[in-house]
Amino acid sequence: MTVGIPRGLFYYYYGELWLKFLDILHIPYIVSEETNQYIIDLGRHYATDEMCLSMKIYLGHIASLVGKCDVILIPRIDNFGRMNQTCTNFLAVYDIAQNIFDAKFITYDIDYLKGQTEEEAFKKLGKELGVDGETSIRSYHNALISIDYQKQKKICLNIEKLESKRLKILLVGHPYNIYDNFIGKPIIVFLEKNGIEIIYADLFHENMMEELGSKMQENLYFKYSKNLMGSIVLCEEKVDGIIFLTAFPCGIDSLVNELAFHYLKKPYIDLVMDELDSSVGLETRLESFIDILKRGAAY
């Protein structure tokens, strides 16, 4: 059985863990290619107008895997506790894909309010793949240990960059936007070419970010957004500016980012991306923002 893994949404939180888990179990897999115009066109074909760009891209990645594997993995993630909800797309996309595509899917559920933990989820995933529960749980924990070193290494490097003498910008956005080949990669490349030290909002210790995020807004109950806001509380005094990156029309980001804007004292720019955005216009806005930061740093 070959497992297909769409390179979007969940992939940027769980991709490394999935691949290591499957490697330990010797189960073959295929990951969809980097986001490109073909993927975007596929996603646009299957999506509705109301869906955000990230969701459209994810549907494109699913479509690109149909016929290339035996099953496609799409989890259903509702919450990590009462004050740690996820976007509704994280719960709904499995059922949406079931209704759109003529393909076989496998899933697991994470809903801590119902006792469906991440460990139990991987136990279920293993069962779906024909592996007994004990072996699945052991493989899950081994996979966690295996990827943790690299994760901690990235976090340490990200923290060290806060002491850099170069112009520093905190890049705030969900990993599935920041690291996507179409949405975030062009911004990262442009900033690096201009000598900017990029601090990534998702690369800090999760528990600390959640606590700091609650200080900005104690009633904020979106888990991933809370973590991103925590990075702002931690980093604002140490960076020269902040870039917010959002996929149009994300409802959660439109609310949470507005809270952050009222909190901030440092210069910021809000980049809202859709499939029609021009790289020329994007670079012009980034150039202007960098010029403003350089002038501010000179005083």
**Is the pLDDT score of 299 beyond 70?**
no
- Domain final position from 148, 182, 209: 148
Q: State how many domains the chain has.
A: 2
Instruction: Report the pLDDT value the prediction gives residue 297, as an integer from 0 to 100.
Output: 66
Q: Is the pLDDT of residue 217 over 80?
A: no
Average pLDDT, the chain: 92
User: Are residues 139 and 185 both part of a single domain?
Assistant: no
For residue 278, the number of C-alpha atoms closer than 13 Å in the C-beta half-sphere is 4
Query: What per-residue confidence (pLDDT) applies to 15?
Result: 96
- The CATH number covering residue 231 comes to 3.40.50
Residue 74 has pLDDT above 60, yes or no: yes
The residue-averaged pLDDT of 46-69 equals: 95
pLDDT value for 278: 55
**Mean pLDDT score, 265-278:** 84
- How many Å separate Cα 85 from the centre of its chain? 15
Token pair recorded at residue 223:
């888990």
Question: Quick one: which H or E segment has residue 282?
Answer: helix 279-298
Average of per-residue pLDDT across 178-203: 95
Q: What is the structure's pLDDT at 210? A: 83
- Return the pLDDT at 218: 75
Q: Coil, helix or strand for 296?
A: helix
Identify the band that residue 298 occupies on the pLDDT scale cut at 50, 70 and 90.
low
Residue 87 CA to residue 37 CA, distance in Å, equals 25
Q: Does residue 139 share a domain with residue 30?
A: yes
User: Is residue 110 predicted with pLDDT exceeding 90?
Assistant: yes
Looking at the fold, whether 103 and 133 belong to one and the same domain comes out as: yes
Does residue 54 sit in the same domain as residue 144?
yes
Q: What are phi and psi of 110, to 5 degrees?
A: -120, 115
Q: Are 37 and 199 in contact (CB under 8 A)?
A: no
- The Cβ-side half-sphere exposure at 40, using a 13 Å CA radius, reads 14
What confidence score (pLDDT) does residue 206 get? 87
Per-residue confidence (pLDDT) for residue 138, from 0 to 100: 96
- Asked whether residue 15 falls in the same domain as residue 119, the answer is yes
87 and 142 fall within a common domain: yes
Examine the domain organization and report whether 190 and 67 are in the same domain.
no
Mean pLDDT across 127-140: 95
For 168, the domain range is 164-298
| Mean pLDDT, rounded, for 112-127 | 94
Cα pseudo-dihedral 254, 262, 226, 32, rounded to 10: 40
Residues paired with 259 in a beta bridge:
none
HSE-CB at 134 with a 13 A cutoff on CA atoms is: 0
